[in-house]
Amino acid sequence: MCGLCGWLSPSPEGGPRAAPLLAAMLDSLVHRGPDGQGEHLGAHVALGHRRLAVIDLAGGAQPMSSADGQVTLVYNGEIYNFAALRDDLRAQGQAFRTRSDTEVILALYQNGGWQAWRRLRGMFAFVLWDGAQRRAYLVRDACGIKPLFFHHRPDGTLVFASEAKAILAVLPELARIDEQALHVLMNFRYLPGGLSLFRGIEQLSPGAVLEWRPDSGARARQRTLAPDVMPAEDVPMVLRQSVQAHAVADVEVGAYLSGGLDSAALVSILKRQCGIRPQTFTLAVGDDPREAPYAAESARLLGVPNKQAPLILSLEDDLPRLLWHLETPKVNAVQVYALARFAARDVKVVLSGLGGDELFYGYNAHRIFYQLMRLPGALARMAGRSAAPLLARLGSLPWGEPERALRMLGHHGDWPWVYGLLRNVWDSPRLRRDLYGPRMLDASPDGAFDVLREAWPCHRDPLVAMNQFEWRNKLVNDLLWQEDRAAMAWGLEVRVPFVDADLHAAVQHLGRRTLMPGGQLKGYMKNSLRHELPGALFARPKSGFQLHAPRFFNQHLRPLAREYLSERRLTETGLFNPEFVRQVLRRPPRTGLRWHYFILYLMLMTELCVDIFEKHRRPAGHAP
């Protein structure tokens, strides 16, 4: 895993002149590549790279150029089928100078143009400059595992990087939080689509190719991967192939291990199919105290070593550092950050079970949505709309769980709206007034439900539409985002075998009724893995990696809240309403206030981001 950055200029002198800018960008990405740094300066182009060496430790340095020097590449990620692709290219007469997957990307382009990148299987983001054709390509993998940000300047210059902070390092005027993006974040708890927290900085979409030329600027070409679809009985085989591919490395490969099925399945395949007995890592965290003992028992049954650690953080120091890496508030990133720090002491690469719930319908939200679909529509709407006014007489804080449940019933049949309510989207004029200060209210951001409806997939099965939306948005811009940033903070590469284009295509071909028979979460997956895993693992209830928000906030975040959520502070920044903070904090913390405390947590992290980015107060001692 690595970090890349660069500057594409309409002027031939723009590349060499960008040398000091490139140095500043690379300095901001040291954590992504502690093993080396490289630069390429030429007409129109300045390319920079920070390297974390995992494959071809001696020969894979970047930027890498073709033998004739005309084509140059900077690349972040891993290509899991690079050895097979290299063999094919060699058979066609292509010569190779290294054992790296980087050179395979170059060779594919030279032999088949950018369309040849459809053959890549892996997680990647890269930028290729073709000096002969005077064009550059920005590319991101189809699942959106690796990040790539860019900014268009009015003169046609394109600035890009693995993280937005590298762009901010040379264009500090962009370091102002975008009120529209913040409003969406406060509703979704992540930034869907191509948003970043900063106005003018965008993300490249998963599976997209952005072509840039000095004389015509940039235009996006959407690339779609179309792997061969496997019949139902072959999905376990595709999963095994994915794990085997993700295990390729010239360094030791470990694994995260929870008490659930996803990580246990990966560890079992690693051991039985790949001959790897991985060191496994578990963080004792979350609402369910059984999670860590379950993980220890899984390790014993699977015959692998397991290291466990409690969640120990000094949040007054660690939270600002984490937010510097994340570049956006994330309510569950603290746990991911702590687990990555723990694993990075022993290994450079770990496999994670992330994506299994999205792939095989494993969330409780899937079950609730399924149950709502089965209710008689007219009866559900009548019940929801008639009971809702009663809540106003109880004097409770707005947007508690009873209110959300009744609103879901009242909107039955309007599935994007129901999904939004289920996932805590709250946008309304009343709640905007309750939560926001004058800066946000004056910005008058577009409605969060409108953003959701615009991105909602067209599918006659609402649960499939929900699943597709989460795969394209929540998985990419919440879970994968925080996994990448938290791991890169410690120089750790996290690989996600469930988030694989071939596997996703094979699973989607089965259909929701096969994957979730009778509403059973992960029904198909459990049946497919019964020969792979010990039976005791299937009897466990599902538990999460989430924290008890009211308890966590009051035990760990009160000192930061006293400073960053004070009336003086909130009045100064103008983003949030101090009265909402007072109302929540003067009530006893309890589970029924979970949404309210998550909002406080997002407010606190946003105020920290104001200091870090708008006021340019980089936290001291950032990792590694």
Give the CATH number for residue 243.
3.40.50.620
Of 65-74, 259-268, 415-424, 538-547, which gets the smallest average pLDDT? 538-547
- Answer whether 481's CB lies under 8 Å from 327's CB: no
Residue 11's closest CA among 46, 60, 44? 44
317 belongs to a structural domain: no
At residue 94, the 3 state secondary structure works out as: coil
pLDDT at 227 over 60: no
Query: Which tokens in the block code for residue 604?
Result: 């606190």
456 belongs to a structural domain: no
64 belongs to a structural domain: yes
Residues 487-497, mean pLDDT to the nearest whole number: 94
| Same-domain status, 295 and 214 | no
DSSP 35-92: TEEEEEEETTEEEEEEE---SSTTT--SSEE-TTSSEEEEEEEEETTHHHHHHHHHHT
Residue 478's closest CA among 149, 147, 200? 147
**What is the 3 state secondary structure string of 471-539?**
HHHHHHHHHHHHHHHHHHCCCCEEECCCCCHHHHHHHHCCCHHHHCHHHCCCHHHHHHHCCCCCHHHHH
Question: Higher-confidence residue: 392 or 475?
Answer: 475
Q: How far apart are CA 162 and CA 6, in angstroms?
A: 10
- Strands 149-152 and 202-203 come out as antiparallel
> 1: buried, middle or exposed (CB in 10 Å: 19+, 13-18, 0-12)?
buried
pLDDT score, position 220:
60
SS3 percent helix, strand, coil of the chain, rounded to 5, is 50, 15, 35
Of 33-37, 183-187, 427-431, which gets the smallest average pLDDT? 33-37
pLDDT digits (tens, 9 = 90+) for 398-448: 777 888 889 999 999 999 999 999 999 999 999 999 999 999 999 999 999
Q: How far apart are CA 124 and CA 223, in angstroms?
A: 14
> Phi, psi (5° rounding) for residue 163?
-135, 150
Q: How confident is the model at residue 62 (pLDDT cuts 50, 70, 90)?
A: confident
Residues 182-209, mean pLDDT to the nearest whole number: 96
Match 């550059």 to its residue by tokens: 136
Q: How far apart are CA 160 and CA 212, in angstroms?
A: 12
Q: How confident is the model at residue 222 (pLDDT cuts 50, 70, 90)?
A: low
Residues 22-45, mean pLDDT to the nearest whole number: 91
Q: How far apart are CA 401 and CA 398, in angstroms?
A: 9
Q: How far apart are CA 177 and CA 483, in angstroms?
A: 22
| Same-domain status, 236 and 130 | no
431 belongs to a structural domain: no
Out of 493, 524, 539, a domain closes at 539
450 belongs to a structural domain: no
591 belongs to a structural domain: no
CATH number at residue 60: 3.60.20.10
Q: How confident is the model at residue 302 (pLDDT cuts 50, 70, 90)?
A: very high
| Same-domain status, 279 and 142 | no
What's the predicted TM-score (pTM) here?
A: 0.94
pLDDT score, position 589:
81
Q: How confident is the model at residue 624 (pLDDT cuts 50, 70, 90)?
A: very low
Q: Using N-to-C axis directions, what is the helix angle for 415-422 and 462-469, rounded to 10°?
A: 50
416 belongs to a structural domain: no
285 DSSP 8-state letter: -
pLDDT at 1 over 90: no
pLDDT at 332 over 80: yes
pLDDT at 184 over 70: yes
> 231: buried, middle or exposed (CB in 10 Å: 19+, 13-18, 0-12)?
exposed
| Same-domain status, 167 and 300 | no
| Same-domain status, 208 and 287 | no
CA angle, residues 273, 292, 351, in degrees to nearest 5:
35
Match 């990448």 to its residue by tokens: 484
User: Among residues of the chain, what percentage have pLDDT more than 90?
Assistant: 77
Task: For residue 51, give its domain range.
Answer: 2-222
Out of 160, 187, 222, a domain closes at 222
118 DSSP 8-state letter: G
Q: How confident is the model at residue 623 (pLDDT cuts 50, 70, 90)?
A: very low
pLDDT digits (tens, 9 = 90+) for 510-552: 999 999 999 999 999 999 999 899 998 988 877 666 777 888 8
Residues 155-177, mean pLDDT to the nearest whole number: 97
Query: Which tokens in the block code for residue 412?
Result: 């039955």
418 belongs to a structural domain: no
| Same-domain status, 154 and 276 | no
Q: How far is CA 20 from CA 256, 259, 511, in A?
A: 40, 49, 53
| Same-domain status, 90 and 173 | yes
Q: How confident is the model at residue 37 (pLDDT cuts 50, 70, 90)?
A: confident
Within 13 Å of residue 155, how many CA atoms lie on the same side as its CB? 9
DSSP 134-168: TEEEEEE-TT--S--EEEE-TTS-EEEESSHHHHH
| Same-domain status, 120 and 214 | yes
Residue 69's identity, in one-letter code, is G
For the chain, the first-to-last Cα distance in angstroms comes to 15
Element of type H or E holding 350? strand 349-351
- Answer whether 150's CB lies under 8 Å from 201's CB: yes
pLDDT score, position 265:
97
| Same-domain status, 187 and 259 | no
Q: Residue 328, Cβ neighbours under 10 Å: how many?
A: 28
Within 13 Å of residue 289, how many CA atoms lie on the same side as its CB? 0
What does pLDDT average to over the chain? 91
192-196 long-range contacts (CB < 8 A, ≥24 apart) are 192/451, 192/452, 192/455, 192/473, 192/474, 192/477, 193/451, 193/455, 193/473, 193/477, 195/477, 196/149, 196/164, 196/327, 196/328
Q: How confident is the model at residue 2 (pLDDT cuts 50, 70, 90)?
A: confident
Q: How far apart are CA 495 and CA 334, in angstroms?
A: 19
Q: How far apart are CA 285 and CA 295, in angstroms?
A: 12
Q: How far apart are CA 249 and CA 20, in angstroms?
A: 34
pLDDT digits (tens, 9 = 90+) for 127-143: 999 999 999 999 999 99
| Same-domain status, 207 and 258 | no
Residues 279-290, mean pLDDT to the nearest whole number: 83
Residues 333-361, mean pLDDT to the nearest whole number: 96
Match 């909402």 to its residue by tokens: 580
- Answer whether 286's CB lies under 8 Å from 546's CB: yes
Domain count, the chain: 2
At residue 209, the 3 state secondary structure works out as: strand
pLDDT at 362 over 60: yes
- Answer whether 602's CB lies under 8 Å from 329's CB: yes
| Same-domain status, 108 and 190 | yes
- Answer whether 256's CB lies under 8 Å from 353's CB: yes
Q: Using N-to-C axis directions, what is the helix angle for 594-609 and 315-326, rounded to 10°?
A: 70
User: Among residues of the chain, what percentage have pLDDT more than 70?
Assistant: 93
**What is the 3 state secondary structure string of 222-260?**
ECCCCCCCCCHHHHHHHHHHHHHHHCCCCCCEEEECCCC
Q: How far apart are CA 29 and CA 6, in angstroms?
A: 12
217-222 sheet: strands from edge to edge: 64-65, 71-79, 122-130, 135-140, 208-213, 217-222
- Answer whether 206's CB lies under 8 Å from 141's CB: yes
> 536: buried, middle or exposed (CB in 10 Å: 19+, 13-18, 0-12)?
exposed
Out of 187, 222, 257, a domain closes at 222
pLDDT score, position 39:
94
Distance of alpha carbon 88 from its chain centroid, rounded? 33
| Same-domain status, 216 and 236 | no
Q: How confident is the model at residue 602 (pLDDT cuts 50, 70, 90)?
A: very high
Q: What pairs with residue 256 in β-bridges?
A: 281
